[in-house]
A and B are shown apart, each in its own frame.
Chain A
Amino acid sequence: MDHRVEENGSGETGPARPDLLTLYGETFSSRLLLGTAQYPSPKVMADAVRASGAEIVTVSLRREGAGGSAGAKFWELISGLGVRVLPNTAGCHTPKEAVTTAEMAREVFGTDWIKLEVIANDDTLAPDQLGLLGAARSLVNAGFKVFPYMSDDISIAERLLEAGCEVLMPLAAPIGSGRGLNDPYGLRTLRAYFPDVPLIVDAGIGAPSHAAAAMEMGFDAILLNTAVAKAGDPVAMAGAFADAIRAGRTAWRAGIMEPRDMARPSTPVAGTPFFDLDEAAGEKGGPGGGRP
C-alpha cells in the first residue's frame, strides 16, 4: 500500500491516482464510517450522516416485539440515505452469539459484511481476543467479509489476517469513552507492522483532533458514533469530523516533518541585518554576541 504522494510520470510529484479507500474490493472516497445510534432523533441522524459524507454506516439487530414496526421504520430511513451498511454484532459475548447474529444480519441487511464484536467485559467493552479469533474463523469460512473490532495487539492482528480478515479495526479507547488515542505507540506500531492492510481506528474517538491524529499516523479510516451523536450539534460535529479526517489524511500523504529537539530558524540566517560573523565569535559582549 502506498498512499503517499508519488511520481506521476511527468517528473512532478502529485497524486498519481484518486485517493480511494478499498475495503474487500469496494472503493470509497470518504474515510469516515459513522454509527447510527444515540442521536436525538431519526432526522438528526440522517442529517448527520449526510453532513459527514460517510458512505458506510454501522447498524445492528435488536429484538422485535409482536406486531412491531421499529425495524421497518429504521430500515426505511437507512435505505433513503443511499449508503452501504456495516451490521455489527454489538453485545455478543460468545463466538456462537456473534456468528448467529452475523448470519441473521446477512439475511436482513443483504450484505456479507460484518463488524465483528465479541465483548469480554461489560464495563470496559474490551474485545475478547480469543473469542474474536474463533468467531472470525467461522465467519470467514461461511463467506463473510469480517471487520474485527480488536485491540492494537500485533499477534492477534496476525492471526486475524491468517484467518482471512482483510480489514482490521483496532480500538483507540473504550467504546463510548471519547478518550482519544489511548495508546499512540501501539497504534503507530500496528500501522508500521501492517503497511498494506486497511486499518480502521474504531471506538474511543471523542474529538476531531483525535481522528486527525490517527489519520496523520497513516490509518486508513475512522469509525465513530458517540462523538457525533452526543455532540451539542451532531450535524455540525459530523462535518467537523469529516474535515479533520480529510486534513489528517492529506497531511499523511503530504509527508509530515520529523520533529527536532532544538530550534531551527525558519527565516534565512544569511543576510540577517546587524549580524557580523566576527562579532558572533563572542569577542565582544552585548546584543547578538552569543549567537551562533
Chain B
Amino acid sequence: MQRVESLQIVLNGEARETRARTLAELCAELGHGDGRIATAVNGDFVPASRRAETRLAAGDRIEIVSPRQGG
C-alpha cells in the first residue's frame, strides 16, 4: 500500500497540511466541489479548467476566493 505524504501549503494566508496532489483535489478536499470559487497559485490565476492538471508543491501559496460584498 502506497503511503500518501501530506504536503505543507499556505492556504488563504494560513499554513495547512493536505493530502491533495492537485489544485482540483485540494478544492474537493475543502468541500468546494463545483462551487462558485476562483483560484490562484503563487500569485498567478489558475482557471477552473486547469485545476486538475495543476500539481501542488510544498510551500505553494494558494488563494481560494468567492463572491462577496464590495464597494
Residue ranges of A at the interface with B (Cβ–Cβ < 8 Å): 35-39, 45, 58-72, 74-75, 78, 87-88, 90, 96-97, 100, 103-105, 107-109, 175-176, 225-226
Contacts and interface: CB of A to CB of B under 8 A. Distances in A.
Contacts of A72: 35-36, 66
Nearest to B13: A63
B44 A100 contact: yes
Contact of A100 (B13, B35, B43): B43
A226 B36 contact: no
Contacts of B65: 61-64, 71, 104, 108
A100 B68 contact: no
Interface string B34-48: 011111100111011
A210 to B, nearest CB: 16
What 4 pairs between A and B have smallest CB-CB spacing? A71-B66, A60-B70, A104-B38, A35-B71
A68 B68 CA distance: 12
A75 B64 CA distance: 16
A104 B32 CA distance: 16
A67 B40 CA distance: 18
A40 to B, nearest CB: 12
Contact of A88 (B31, B36, B44, B71): B71
Of A58, A72, A88, A97, most buried by chain B (CB within 10 Å of CB) is A72
Contact of A104 (B13, B35, B40, B71): B40
